[in-house]
Structure 1
Amino acid sequence: MKEIVNLPALNAALATLNTPTSLLVRSQGMLYSCGIPPLDLERKTLIEGDLTTQTEAVLSLMKAALEGAGSSLEKVVKITIYVTDTAHFGPVNEVYKRYFTSDYPVRSFVAVSPWPLPFDIEIDCIAEA
């Protein structure tokens, strides 16, 4: 059975993108996130800065979402990072290492075509609930 995790402020920011998705779903003791873009929660807008700024925004939002659902970054078992250019590997890793310092989750790093919206990174995860 699946349960949509109700995180009003985070879901409201995501809703501004007009994308039919849930931020987090809980199922069988696990949490599954959508691909999280770089969102400014206060202004409910995309953050269009450099890759470091965008990555920081995504991981900060992921951390807040997981903690709001009673989990944490330490319980993440799988991460997929989607970027618009493989040249982003270094800047993404610099920020990533501040959020994940040991016992790293398994991870995939995937280059994709640019989204129709102005951002260059999106990250999803699977975590223990």
Structure 2
Amino acid sequence: MKSLSSALVLSNNFIVSSTLSRMLKKLGIKKVFEIDTDFKALSNILSSKPEFIFLDQKNPDYTSIETVLQLNTFSNAQIAVLTSSEYFDDWQQQMDVYPDISILKKPLSGKEVEEFITKKYTAFFYGEAV
């Protein structure tokens, strides 16, 4: 797989962001930006055009859904929402009409992250259906 330039991890949980960051770097992503969800640095990071954005979210309340949809609108990145099994089905239902947004259940394994990256990478660079 060709080396990707960057990914963004949005999480208030240090363990989630640092673990996911290590996984992504092992998969060949050169830069991984980690920021909490106060979004202060978000516009600067989005200007660097990360290929992937991972959002650590709990329940799909209005604010969370709006954040995901805005990121989907203002970036060309492949987006994954990370959530617990408790909220997984709720997120799936909310995002069902947005096939380009993936919902991943925590805790993630390295294999799951690799499968997501590989699948989205192929679609992103070769125009195949996802």
Q: What TM-score, normalized to structure 1?
A: 0.35
Higher fraction of helix: 2
Higher relative contact order, chain-length normalized (CA < 8 Å, sep 6+): 1
Higher fraction of strand: 1
Q: What TM-score, normalized to structure 2?
A: 0.35
